[in-house]
C-alpha cells in the first residue's frame, strides 16, 4: 500500500466520522422521543399493572399479553377468549380493509382522469387534491361530522328531496367510521396512484386498441397491471393509518364503535391497565409491520414482473 | 377518420367519478366554512350571515392561550427539526455508501412508519416517569416530541435538493481556498435555501396539526388549538368552533400555497 492510498483511506474515515457527528442531533432526538420510548413500552408490557395506573416496577408478568386476547373468568378463574378485545381488533382490520377498497374505487378513476389531462391543467388538479391532504385531520373529521349528523347536510338534503322521512342514524355507527376514514385518507390513495399512472406508456394502450381490445379489456389487462405498484403503494398508505385511527372513531364512532386506537387509549385512562395497553400497542405495530412486509414483497415482485 | 376521434386515454364514467370525488372532498370543508358565518346559536339552523363567532373566538381567552401555545411549539419544533434535518441531510447525501447509512435513513424515517397512537402512549409512559423524577412539566416535552416527528418532513425536501445539486460550484469554492465552513456558508446554504424553507414550512404545518401525540404528552392546562378543539367536540358545539377551524384552515392553506410556489419556481 503506498502513501497516497493511505492518505485517501484516512480522509475517507475522517469524512465518515464527521458525517456521524453531523447526523447525531437528528438521530439523538428521534431516539429519545420516538424509538427509545417504544423499547420502554415493550418492557412495560411485561410488568404488573399498578393499582392506580402505571406499573409496579420490576415485577414481571405475562398478564398484559395474555389479556390482549384472553380473560380470566371471574367465577372459576379459567381462561376464555376476550371477546370484546377480539371484536374491536377484528373491526379495526375490517374497517381499514373496506376503507382501502372505497378509496381505491373513488381514487383510481380520479387519479387516472387527472393523469390524462394536459400537463398544465394536471398541476392544478393535483394541487386541489393536495389542499385537503394538508388540512388538519381533526378539522376534516369535524367537517364530516357536520355533514352526517342527524340534523346535518346529508340528512337534510335527503329529507328535502323526499327520499327519506326521518333522519338516518349514520353518526356513531361503523358507517360513520368508514365514511370518515374514506374522506380523510382519500388523498393518500390518489397521489401515489397519480404518480404511477402519469408514467404509463400510452403506446401500450394504443396497441391494445389496435388488437381490438374493448375499453374494459384495456383497463383490466394493460392499465391495471402496469400501475399495480401505485395501487399497492396507495393501499398501504391508506390501510396503515386506518388501522391506527384514533381521532376519527373518537369523534364519529362514539363510545360503542371503538377501534384499536381507542381501546389502547382506554387502558391508559379509565382502564388503568398500562401493561395491557402497551401490549395492545405492540400488537398494532405488528399488524402494521405485516402490512408493510406484504407491500415490500409485492412491490419487488411487481417491479420485475413486467416490461 | 374514426381513429382520429377515438381518444385512447379516456375511460367511461371516470370523469363523473372524478367530479364526485372533488365534490366529496370539498363539500364538507365548504359547509364548515359557510357555517362559521352562521348567526344562529347552534349548527342545526341557519340564522343569517354574521361574523360574530369569529369575534367570540378571538375574545375567548382559552382559544387565545391555545393558539399562542400552538404557535410557540410549532416555531420551536420546526426550527429545531429543520436544523437537525439539514445537518442529517448533509451527512447522508453526496457520498459513496458507508456503513450505517441505511440505519440512519431507517431512524430518520421511523416516525413515519409507526402509528401515531403507538408513539403517543409510549411517550406518555416515558414522559410521565420523567415528569415525576424531575418535577419539570413545561412545554419542553411537547417541543421535543414534535421535533422528533417533524424531522422526517423537514429532511425529505432538503435531501431531494441536495441529491439533485451538482458539486461544481462547491469544488470551485474549494479551489479558491475557501474553508469547508466558508463553502457551506456562502455556496451550499444559499443554493439550499428554497428546500430549507420548504422543509421548515412542512414541519411547521405538521406540528401545528398534531392532535394525537399532543393529547397524550401535554400536562394539565397545556392545550394546543387542536386538542382544545377535540375537547370541545364532546359537547354540543356552536359555530364558534367552526370559526376557529376556518381560521386554522386559512392559515394552513396559505402555507401550502406558498410551499407549492416555492417548489414550482425551483423546477
User: Which residues sit opposite B49 in a β-bridge?
Assistant: B38
Residues 216-235, chain B: which have Cβ within 8 Å of A? 216, 226, 229-230, 233
Cα distance between residue B155 and residue A68, in whole Å: 37
CB contact under 8 A, B212 and A247: yes
Contact (Cβ atoms closer than 8 angstroms) between residue B153 and residue B203 = yes
Look up the ipTM and state it. Answer: 0.90
CB contact under 8 A, A138 and B211: yes
Cα distance between residue A100 and residue A93, in whole Å: 11
Is it true that domain A82-305 has CATH number 1.10.3720.10? Answer: yes
pLDDT for the residue A307: 35
Cα distance between residue B172 and residue B186, in whole Å: 12
CB contact under 8 A, A244 and B116: yes
For the entire predicted model, the pTM comes to: 0.90
Q: What are the domain boundaries of chain A?
A: 3-47+55-80, 82-305
Is it true that domain B61-266 has CATH number 1.10.3720.10? Answer: yes
Nearest to B243 by CA among B22, B59, B45: B59
Residues of chain B contacting residue A54, judged by C-beta atoms under 8 Å apart: 128
CB contact under 8 A, B230 and A284: no
Q: What are the residues whose beta carbons fall under 8 Å from the beta carbon of B183, sequence distance 6 or more?
A: B170, B173, B174
**Consecutive sets of 10 residues in chain A, 307 residues long: mean pLDDT of each?**
84 90 95 95 92 80 85 76 88 95 96 93 90 90 91 88 89 93 95 92 91 92 91 91 94 87 92 92 93 79 46
Q: How far is A72 from chain B (nearest CA, A)?
A: 25
Contact (Cβ atoms closer than 8 angstroms) between residue A285 and residue B118 = yes
Angle in degrees, CA A234, A236, A240, rounded to 5:
130
Q: How many residues does chain A have?
A: 307
pLDDT for the residue A114: 95
Distances (CA, A) of B248 to A135, A192, B52: 9, 27, 17
Cα distance between residue A86 and residue A283, in whole Å: 12
Nearest to A111 by CA among A198, A238, A184, A206: A198
CB contact under 8 A, B91 and A241: no
Could you tell me how many CB contacts below 8 A there are between chain A and chain B?
240
Cα distance between residue A30 and residue A38, in whole Å: 11
Which residue of B lies nearest to A29 if distances are taken between CA atoms?
B148
Whether the per-residue pLDDT at B182 is higher than 50: the answer is yes
Which residue of B lies nearest to A41 if distances are taken between CA atoms?
B122
Query: What pLDDT band is residue B1 in, cutting at 50, 70 and 90?
Result: very low
Residue-wise pLDDT for B56-105, tens only, equals: 989 999 999 999 999 999 999 999 999 999 999 999 988 888 888 889 99
CB contact under 8 A, B252 and A136: yes
Residue A70 is inside which H or E element, if any? strand A70-72
Residues 136-175, chain B: which have Cβ within 8 Å of A? 144-145, 147-149, 151, 155
Nearest to B153 by CA among B198, B92, B101, B120: B198
How many CB atoms within 10 Å of residue A113? 23
Spell out a b/e string for A255-277, using b for 16 or more CB atoms within 10 Å of the CB, else e: eebbbbbbbbbbbbeeebbbbbb
Q: Which three cell numbers stand for residue A33?
A: 422521543
B35 and chain A in contact, CB less than 8 A = yes
Task: Provide mean pLDDT across the span B195-204.
Answer: 92
CB contact under 8 A, A106 and B212: no
- What 8-state DSSP symbol labels residue B38? B
CB contact under 8 A, B125 and A37: yes
Amino acid at each position: 500500500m503506498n502513501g497516497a492510498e493511505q492518505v485517501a483511506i484516512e480522509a475517507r474515515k475522517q469524512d465518515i466520522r464527521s458525517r456521524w457527528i453531523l447526523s447525531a442531533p437528528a438521530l439523538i432526538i428521534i431516539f429519545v422521543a420516538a424509538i427509545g420510548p417504544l423499547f420502554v413500552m415493550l418492557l412495560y408490557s411485561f410488568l404488573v399493572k399498578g393499582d392506580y395506573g402505571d406499573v409496579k416496577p420490576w415485577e414481571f408478568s405475562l398478564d398484559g399479553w395474555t389479556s390482549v386476547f384472553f380473560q380470566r373468568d371471574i367465577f372459576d378463574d379459567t381462561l376464555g377468549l376476550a371477546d370484546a378485545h377480539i371484536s374491536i381488533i377484528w373491526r379495526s382490520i375490517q374497517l381499514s380493509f373496506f376503507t382501502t377498497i372505497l378509496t381505491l374505487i373513488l381514487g383510481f378513476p380520479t387519479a387516472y382522469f387527472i393523469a390524462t389531462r394536459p400537463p398544465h391543467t394536471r398541476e392544478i388538479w393535483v394541487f386541489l387534491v393536495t389542499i385537503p391532504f394538508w388540512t388538519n385531520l381533526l378539522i376534516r373529521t369535524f367537517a364530516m361530522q357536520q355533514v352526517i349528523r342527524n340534523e346535518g347536510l346529508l340528512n337534510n338534503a335527503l329529507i328535502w328531496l323526499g327520499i327519506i322521512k326521518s333522519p338516518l342514524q349514520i353518526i356513531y355507527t361503523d358507517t360513520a367510521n368508514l365514511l370518515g376514514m374514506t374522506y380523510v385518507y382519500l388523498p393518500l390513495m390518489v397521489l401515489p396512484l397519480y404518480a404511477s399512472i402519469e408514467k404509463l406508456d400510452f403506446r401500450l394502450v394504443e396497441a391494445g386498441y389496435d388488437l381490438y381490445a374493448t375499453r374494459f379489456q384495456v383497463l383490466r389487462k394493460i392499465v391495471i397491471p402496469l400501475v399495480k405498484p401505485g395501487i399497492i403503494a396507495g393501499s398501504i398508505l391508506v390501510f396503515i393509518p386506518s388501522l391506527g385511527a384514533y381521532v376519527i372513531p373518537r369523534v364519529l364512532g362514539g363510545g360503542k364503535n371503538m377501534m384499536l386506537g381507542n381501546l389502547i387509549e382506554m387502558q391508559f385512562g379509565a382502564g388503568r391497565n398500562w401493561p395491557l395497553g402497551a401490549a395492545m400497542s405492540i400488537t398494532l405495530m405488528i399488524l402494521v409491520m405485516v402490512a408493510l412486509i406484504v407491500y415490500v414483497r409485492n412491490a419487488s415482485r411487481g417491479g420485475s414482473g413486467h416490461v | 377518420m374514426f381513429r382520429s376521434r377515438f381518444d385512447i386515454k379516456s375511460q367511461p364514467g371516470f370523469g363523473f367519478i372524478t367530479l364526485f370525488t372533488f365534490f366529496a372532498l370539498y363539500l364538507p370543508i365548504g359547509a364548515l366554512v359557510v357555517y362559521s358565518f352562521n348567526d344562529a346559536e347552534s349548527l342545526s339552523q341557519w340564522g343569517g350571515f354574521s361574523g360574530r363567532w369569529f369575534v367570540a373566538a378571538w375574545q375567548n381567552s382559552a382559544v387565545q392561550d391555545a393558539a399562542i401555545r400552538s404557535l410557540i411549539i410549532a416555531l420551536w419544533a420546526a426550527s429545531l427539526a429543520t436544523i437537525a434535518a439539514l445537518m442529517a441531510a448533509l451527512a447522508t447525501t453526496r457520498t459513496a455508501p458507508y456503513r450505517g447509512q441505511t440505519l440512519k435513513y431507517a431512524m430518520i424515517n421511523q416516525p413515519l412508519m409507526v402509528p401515531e397512537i403507538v408513539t403517543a402512549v409510549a411517550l406518555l409512559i416515558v414522559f410521565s416517569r420523567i415528569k415525576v423524577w424531575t418535577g419539570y412539566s413545561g412545554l419542553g416535552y411537547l417541543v421535543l416530541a414534535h421535533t422528533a416527528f417533524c424531522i422526517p418532513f423537514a429532511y425529505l425536501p432538503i435531501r431531494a435538493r441536495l441529491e439533485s445539486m451538482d458539486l461544481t460550484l462547491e469544488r470551485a469554492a474549494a479551489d479558491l481556498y475557501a474553508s469547508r465552513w466558508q463553502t457551506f456558508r456562502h455556496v451550499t446554504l444559499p443554493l439550499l435555501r428554497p428546500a430549507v424553507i420548504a422543509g421548515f414550512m412542512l414541519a411547521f404545518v405538521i406540528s401545528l396539526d398534531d392532535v394525537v401525540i399532543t393529547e397524550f404528552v401535554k400536562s394539565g392546562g397545556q392545550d394546543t388549538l387542536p386538542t382544545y378543539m377535540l375537547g370541545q367536540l364532546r359537547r354540543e358545539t356552536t359555530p364558534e368552533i367552526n370559526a376557529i377551524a376556518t381560521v386554522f384552515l386559512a392559515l394552513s392553506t396559505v402555507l401550502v400555497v406558498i410551499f407549492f410556489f416555492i417548489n414550482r419556481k425551483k423546477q
